[in-house]
Structure 1
Amino acid sequence: MPRIAYFGPQGTFTEQAARTFGDADLVAVETVPLVLAAVRSGEVDSGCVPIENSVGGAVTATMDALAEDEPLIAVAECVLPVRFSILVRPGTRAEDVKTVASHPHALTQVHDWIAANLPNATPVASTSTSSAAVLVQDGEFDAAVCAPVAVTHYSLETLATDVADVDNAVTRFLLVSRPTRVPEPTGADRTSLAVVIAHAEPGSLASTLSELALRGINLTRIESRPLRGQIGEYRFYLDLDGHIGEERVAGALAALHRNSNQVRFLGSYPKADQSPSVPSAKNTDDDYQAARDWVRRMREGR
C-alpha cells in the first residue's frame, strides 16, 4: 500500500484531502516542509499539502518548500469545502472561552463568527488546526478551530460545528511525488510552474506572460514570493490550463526556460473540477503539426 505523508497531526483538513487520493498508509507530519522532505528522502511515496484557500489565499509555506531543494511534482489535486468545528474541553461554555487557537488561515475564515459568538476570546495562531486541538486538550487554550474529523481523535467535545464566515470557502490541496514520467493529457489538466524572471530587464514579467498569451493559454493563478535573502527579487508561481504533453504548453515552457533566470516545473495533473482545458483557435496539436509540416515543405522546396 502506498505511503502518503500529510500536514498533520491527525484530524486536519489535509488528512481529509489525503484520503480522497485512494487507499494508502497515511503518515502525519508536523509541518509542510517536513512532509516534502519525507517525499524527497523516499521515506514515503507522496505527500499531501495545502496550496491555496479561497479566503486566506496562498499557503506560502508550501510554495516556498516546493521551489527549494530537490524538485518534486504535483500528480493530483483535491478541492475541499471548508467548514469548521469549535472544539473545547468537556463542560466548557461559550462564555468561558478566553482564547481560541488555530492555524492562521482557519482563524481568517471564522473571524466574524468568533467576534459574534465568542466575544471574550482572543485568537491565537498555531501550526495547524489539529495542533490547536492538542493545545486545548492539554489545557493551554480554551477552544480550537478544527476540521470536523478532529473530534474523533481528541478528548474534546464540539461547542459548534458547520462554522464559516464564507459559505462556499474551499481549500486546494496537491499530492506531490518525486519526479516521474508525466501521465498523458486528459483534456482537463492544470500545469504549475515556479519562474524567476530577469527582474532588471524592463517588461520581463510582461514578456513572460506573453509567451502564454501568444499560444492561447489561460493563466488561472499567479503569485509572487521574494527570493530568500535577495531583496527586490521575486519568484512567480503560475497555474495554467493545459498539460506539458500538449504542443502549446510545451512550447511556452521551452520559451520560458530560454528567457527566464530559472523555471521549475511543478507538474501537469488533472484538475479537481474536471473543467476542460480547451486550446484556443489555431493552438491545437494538429495546428502545430500542420505548421511544422508547412515549414518542412518550404525548406525542401516543395
Structure 2
Amino acid sequence: MDWDKKNEIAEMRQKIDQLDQSLAQILKERVEAARAIGKLKGKHQVLDPIREQEVIDRTVKICSGLDPKGIEAVMKEVISLCRAVQKRPTVACLGPEGSFSQQAAYACLGRSIDLEYLEDIEGIFSAVDRKSTLFGIVPVENSIEGVVYSTLDAFSSSSLDLSISMEIMLPINHVLASKSSTLSQITEVRSHPQALAQCKGWLSMNLPQCPRKTTASTSAAAMEAAKDQRLAAVCTLLAAEINGLNVLAKDIQDHPHNTTRFWLISKGQNPTKPLKGMNKASILFTVAHKPGSLFYALEPVKDAGLNMMFIQSRPLTSNPFEYLFFVDIELDPQGEKALEALKEMEKRCFSFRILGIYPSFKSR
C-alpha cells in the first residue's frame, strides 16, 4: 500500500472517530430525554410498542439505501437502552439460557432487560402474577407443531388483570453446533424432541449413522455438547454462541417457514379497548351448552366483517365435556367495528374475557 493511500485511510479513520463521538453524545442526550419522559410518566406503563415501531419505521425510511434489518436492530437496542433508564424490564421466559423464548424476549424488548429463566409456562404466569417480573414471554402456537396448550390453560386460570401486551412472530432457525470443527467427528446428536423432528430430513441426509438423543430443551442440548466434542446439538444460534460451540451448519430445519408466535404478557399493562395501531384481540369465553350457541356468540364478528384468525377449544374442568373457547380476531384500522362486535359478543356469552388488545409484529 502506497503512502498516499495510508494517509487517506488514516484521515477517514479520524473522521469515523469524530462521528462516533457525535453519535455517543446524541445517544447520551436521547437517554436523558427518555429519563425525563419516564419521570413524567410516573408509574404508567414502560412499554409503548406502537410508538416504538413508529420510531423504527421512520428511521428505516430516513436511512433509505441502508439495510433495513440492520437499522431496525440498531434502533430496537437504542429504544431498549432508553426504556431501561425509565424502568429496566424484568422478563420471565423458558430456559435455560439460549432458548427461543429468550430470542423472542429480545425481539420484543431488546437486550436491555433482566431475564429470569423458568422451567415451565405455569411458572412464567405465576412470576408475572405475583409481580416478581414485569413481563413474561410464552409460546402460543408453532406453524408446524400447532397450539401450545399449556399457555392457553394457564390463561384460563390466571388473574383477570393479567393480559397480552404484544405478539411476536419468531422464525425458528435451527443450527447444528458442537465443540468439534467437522461433521465427521460427531458420534451423537442431541436436542429437544420437537427440534429433532423438525430437522429429521437434514439429519438423515448429513448424519445418517448418528443416533439422536432427546433433551429437555435445545439450550440443554447445547450445554451438554459443550462438555463433549463428540456431541452435536440442534439449537439456536444464540445457544451456540453462549456455550462457545462451533456452528457446523445453519438453517437445518426441514421447513424454511417454521415460525412460532409468542405472547408478551403483563399485569395491568394492556389497554381495555382498541386503539390506533392495535391489530389483534384475543378472547376467552364460554357459551351455553346447547345447539347453535357458538355460532350465535361469534355472529357479531362475522357481521362486522372482521377476520377470525384463530379458534381453539379447551376442556372446562368444572363441567365435563363442556369447553372454553379461545379466539383471535383481526381488528379494523380504528378498532371501532371490533369494539362494537366485542360488546355484542359479550352479551351472547355465558362468560367473556378479553385477554388482550395488542399489536402483532414479525421478527425479521
TM-score range normalised by the length of the shorter chain: 0.7 to 0.9
The within-5 A match list for 1:30-41 is 30-41=119-130
Judging by fraction of residues, say which structure has more strand.
Answer: 1
Matched, 1:171 2:278: no
For the pair shown, the structure with the greater C-alpha radius of gyration is 2
Aligned partner (choices 149, 157, 165) of residue 60 of structure 1: 149
Q: Is the 8 A contact 2:218 2:233 kept in 1?
A: yes
Q: Which has the higher contact order (CA 8 A, sep 6+)?
A: 1
Check 1:99–1:232 CA distance in 2 against 1; reply closer, same or farther (3 A cut). farther
Q: Give the paired residue count.
A: 271
Aligned partner (choices 114, 120, 129) of residue 25 of structure 1: 114
User: Quick one: distance in 1 between partners of 2:286 and 2:183?
Assistant: 51
User: Quick one: distance in 2 between partners of 1:238 and 1:51?
Assistant: 12
Q: Which moved more, 1:117-126 or 1:20-29?
A: 117-126
Matched, 1:10 2:97: yes
Matched, 1:191 2:281: yes
The within-5 A match list for 1:58-97 is 58-71=147-160, 72-90=162-180, 93=183, 96-97=186-187
User: Quick one: distance in 2 between partners of 1:243 and 1:227?
Assistant: 31
Aligned partner (choices 83, 102, 108) of residue 192 of structure 2: 102
Q: Secondary structure at the match of 2:251?
A: strand
Aligned partner (choices 191, 208, 226) of residue 119 of structure 1: 208
User: Quick one: distance in 2 between partners of 1:205 and 1:232?
Assistant: 15
Residue 91 of structure 1: how far off its partner (Å): 6.6
User: Quick one: distance in 2 between partners of 1:38 and 1:205?
Assistant: 34
Judging by fraction of residues, say which structure has more helix.
Answer: 2
Residue 127 of structure 1: how far off its partner (Å): 3.6
Q: Is the 8 A contact 1:102 1:126 kept in 2?
A: yes
Q: Secondary structure at the match of 1:208?
A: helix
Q: Per-residue displacement from partner, 1:229-278 (whole Å, max 9, x unpaired)?
A: 7543222221111279833223332333333232232101112159xxxx
Aligned position for 2:343: 254
The within-5 A match list for 1:147-296 is 147-182=236-271, 185-198=275-288, 200-228=289-317, 231-242=320-331, 246-273=335-362
TM-score (norm 2): 0.66
Q: Secondary structure at the match of 1:162?
A: coil
User: Quick one: distance in 1 between partners of 2:333 and 2:115?
Assistant: 30
Q: Percent identity at matched positions?
A: 31
Q: Is the 8 A contact 2:170 2:362 kept in 1?
A: no
What's the C-alpha RMSD, in Å, of the aligned pairs? Answer: 2.8
Q: Is the 8 A contact 2:188 2:213 kept in 1?
A: no
Q: Secondary structure at the match of 1:176?
A: strand
Q: Is the 8 A contact 1:243 1:268 kept in 2?
A: no
Q: Secondary structure at the match of 2:300?
A: helix
Q: Secondary structure at the match of 2:250?
A: strand
Q: Secondary structure at the match of 2:105?
A: helix
Check 1:136–1:261 CA distance in 2 against 1; reply closer, same or farther (3 A cut). farther
Residue 228 of structure 1: how far off its partner (Å): 3.8
Q: Is the 8 A contact 2:276 2:335 kept in 1?
A: no
Amino acid at match of 1:271: S
Aligned position for 1:290: none
TM-score (norm 1): 0.78
Q: Is the 8 A contact 1:51 1:63 kept in 2?
A: yes
